[in-house]
Structure 1
Amino acid sequence: MERDELAAWLRLLETPQVGRESARKLLAAFGSAQSVIDASVGARREVVALGPALALATAPDTLAALIAATAEWLAADADETRAVVTLGDPLYPAALLNIADPPLLLYLQGRVELLQAPSVAIVGSRNPTHQGTDNAHAFAAHLSRAGWPVVSGMALGIDGAAHEGALEGSAGTVAVVGTGLDRVYPRRHLDLAHRITRQGLMVSEYSLGTPALPPNFPLRNRIIAGLARGTLVVEAALQSGSLITARLASEAGREVFAIPGSIHSPQSRGCHALIKRGAKLVENAQDILEELQPGIAPAAAPAEPTRNTDPLLQALGYEPVSLDALGARTGWSATELNTRLLELELGGQVARLPGQLFQRIGHS
């Protein structure tokens, strides 16, 4: 993109009082960002309200610095692709054209070709159970190895586990973030963000320097849902933002998948609500592939693991359980239980949960 064109787009999108709806109407009427800026106030007033029509007559005080910073960012690293893609550009993802509110401009960093690839979104709780984290990682790794990039929002919890798993496969991952691409939020994911820029793709509709503002994250969910052929919810409470993503995916005509869990776990209730409303219950990644790729033969199933006969693991089951309940099931003393639980915890087979609860991890 030429600097003058970039300047016109940034002026249109970063001018106060000009929201996404007004910008879209102006672009439809005038054909390009530069034509919108060049039009008279009266001509713009025929398309939008007086406020945005007048606001565009004067460039924001911060515009020159933003243009310079964006141009510098685009040219900063010759070893990695950075781009700004606008609605109508050949690189703009066709999948987003079918959503209700397609972003007008996207900042990209990394493997830009992933923007056009058929993908699956994986979303869920920021405070998942250990089993939820393992599931997100395993599903994402399987999908990526099968050639499906995994889209998520780089939040803590399920999102981060999904990105990590997807990086283990060749298809990679797409992180749609709610800040400018020159910032990483949460900071705990700084290393993950750097790996995604090398092996996957970072995407944002927010200009450089945009901090982590609460309203931006629900908005970025529409891009996550819009990019993907289907959205998998791994764990979610009833009020989770992941359910917003699932709803947006359904409204866009995409598939919605959910992993069931314990009826006693708050983190499973959102998934159960989705299943009641028609989401497909999935138990493994192959269930998703069969839905999105009908007629494709399933991958060879792994050998059936030897049944674990550890009596404490059998007593634990796969739902959170208290020490008292384990004592009742096994007849063991609290001392014996604590000793053996610590061994299993150190061995990665048991997780210690808040409230003095324990949960078996995986299906060992």
Structure 2
Amino acid sequence: MWCVTPEPQPVTDLADLAGWLRLGSIPGLGAVGQRQLLAAFGLPEQIFAADEPALAAVLGQALARQVLSHDTRPAVERGLAWLQAPDQHLITLADPAYPPLLLEIPDPPPLLYVKGQPACLRRPSVAVVGARSATPQGVRNAEDFARSLSEAGLQVVSGLALGIDAAAHRGGLAGPGGSLAVIGTGADRIYPARNEALARQLAEEGAVVSDLPLGSGPLAHHFPRRNRIIAGLAKGVLVVEAAVQSGSLITARLAVECSREVFAIPGSIHAPLAKGCHQLIREGAKLVESAAHILEELRLDEPERALALDLPPPALEGDEARVWDALGVEATEMDLLLQRTSLTPEALYAILLTLELEGRLARLPGGRLQRL
């Protein structure tokens, strides 16, 4: 997967991060209050250097006292200790590594906890969401659409829930675009427990992201908060199955507020889990029957452009150039490559190995290959 392209790296200054952790651990303040203070005073160190009347002018007396008096040391120590583990990062609103798409939403989270590769938060992505109690067909649709989007170079973002979310992550991980999870708990907790192995794979190959303080449990009001990050990170949101009253429709509406495209897969008029998708379509969502419809709508039908790697075309000659041309832009099977190139299996394998080691080729499930 291509989340390892050169990107701004998260700030690792512990004193700076301690201030952000302190700000994020004050009860009752919330992301809105944090942004109000940041807008009024600047960085956290300036906030905590302010006196009570100055803080009260922004927050009111009660919250101002809370900012100055609450013991934030346990939360700060816990956050800094969490940060010491491999591939665990904190990204702040003032960090060059902060995902630019999240800056476009009305309420960007001041602090993100990231397990995995921070560069994944800046990748071209599509969110795939839907019902937890999905039908077998819905699960197949989610995985197939996500795999196709990933094979086209788009990262698949979802919420690590059972049903559609888990299927979307599996499909995304099956292709070179990969997958990213935004969770409704602290980054040190996995919910539901049944997706623990999937979460580990996502952290190893992509990223698991939360804006909630460490230790936060799966409370109901955490999930709409998670959903606005899912919508914000993506260029579009695909709803696979959803009841009329569902979190997926919240994600879709948040996507509209962020000026993102919304797509929905239709179903039977008698199916309860199709009614939410039909409602979205009536409200203006794009009806889609294949991943190609999404790619066309987003104008990302060319995988090379979707990957956004800024890599020049490879300077290849002879048999290597023949193999590169034979690969084309779609995932290709070995037998077809042998036919297209007329090379011996041994010669073809050697060239493919070279291209793979150079980072120009991905091996997909089923023995297929795709150039990157």
TM more than 0.5: yes
Task: Tell me what 2:293 maps to.
Answer: 287
Task: Tell me what 1:27 maps to.
Answer: 38
| Offset of residue 294 of structure 1 | 5.7
Mapping of residues 109-128 of structure 1, within 5 Å: 109-128=115-134
Match of 1:184, as an amino acid?
A: I
Q: State which drifts further: 211-220 or 242-251.
A: 211-220
- Is 1:71 equivalent to 2:88 in the alignment? no
Determine what percentage of the aligned residue pairs are the same residue: 51
- Which structure's CA Rg is the greater one? 1
Task: Tell me what 2:284 maps to.
Answer: 278
Q: Whole-Å Cα distance in 2 between the matches of residues 89 and 180 of structure 1?
A: 20
Indicate which of 236, 239, 244 corresponds to 2:245: 239
Mapping of residues 20-59 of structure 1, within 5 Å: 20-59=31-70
Match of 1:181, as an amino acid?
A: A
Task: Tell me what 1:353 maps to.
Answer: none
Task: Tell me what 2:142 maps to.
Answer: 136
Q: Whole-Å Cα distance in 1 between the matches of residues 62 and 15 of structure 2?
A: 24
Match of 1:230, as an amino acid?
A: G
| Offset of residue 98 of structure 1 | 1.0
Task: Tell me what 2:226 maps to.
Answer: 220
Task: Tell me what 1:319 maps to.
Answer: none
| Offset of residue 202 of structure 1 | 0.5
Deviation string, structure 1 residues 189-211 (Cα, Å, up to 9, x no partner): 01000000111110000121111
Q: Whole-Å Cα distance in 1 between the matches of residues 285 and 249 of structure 2?
A: 11
- Is 1:82 equivalent to 2:77 in the alignment? no
Q: Whole-Å Cα distance in 2 between the matches of residues 149 and 34 of structure 1?
A: 36
Match of 1:165, as an amino acid?
A: G
Mapping of residues 251-270 of structure 1, within 5 Å: 251-270=257-276
Higher relative contact order (CA 8 A, sep 6+): 2
Match of 2:139, as an amino acid?
A: T
Q: State which drifts further: 109-118 or 227-236.
A: 109-118
Q: Whole-Å Cα distance in 2 between the matches of residues 295 and 204 of structure 1?
A: 30
- Is 1:107 equivalent to 2:118 in the alignment? no
Give runs of ≥4 in structure 1 deviating > 6 Å.
Answer: 297-302
- Is 1:178 equivalent to 2:156 in the alignment? no
List alignment gaps of at least 5 residues for structure 2: 1-11, 304-327, 333-372
Indicate which of 18, 29, 33 corresponds to 1:18: 29
| Offset of residue 47 of structure 1 | 1.9
Deviation string, structure 1 residues 179-236 (Cα, Å, up to 9, x no partner): 1111110000010000001111100001211111111011110000011000000000
Match of 1:23, as an amino acid?
A: Q
| Offset of residue 100 of structure 1 | 1.1
Q: State which drifts further: 290-299 or 90-99.
A: 290-299
| Offset of residue 45 of structure 1 | 1.7
Task: Tell me what 2:198 maps to.
Answer: 192
RMSD: 1.8
Task: Tell me what 2:164 maps to.
Answer: 158
Match of 1:247, as an amino acid?
A: R
Count how many residue pairs are aligned between Structure 1 and Structure 2.
297
Give the SS at the match of 1:107: strand
| Offset of residue 37 of structure 1 | 0.8
Match of 2:24, as an amino acid?
A: L
Is 1:137–1:162's contact at 8 Å kept on the other side of the alignment? Answer: yes
Q: Whole-Å Cα distance in 1 between the matches of residues 300 and 44 of structure 2?
A: 42
Length-normalised TM-score, structure 2: 0.77
Give the SS at the match of 2:134: coil
Is 1:290–1:296's contact at 8 Å kept on the other side of the alignment? Answer: no
Deviation string, structure 1 residues 287-332 (Cα, Å, up to 9, x no partner): 1111112674997699xxxxxxxxxxxxxxxxxxxxxxxxxxxxxx
Give the SS at the match of 1:97: helix
Q: State which drifts further: 208-217 or 154-163.
A: 208-217
Indicate which of 212, 226, 238 corresponds to 1:206: 212
Match of 1:143, as an amino acid?
A: L
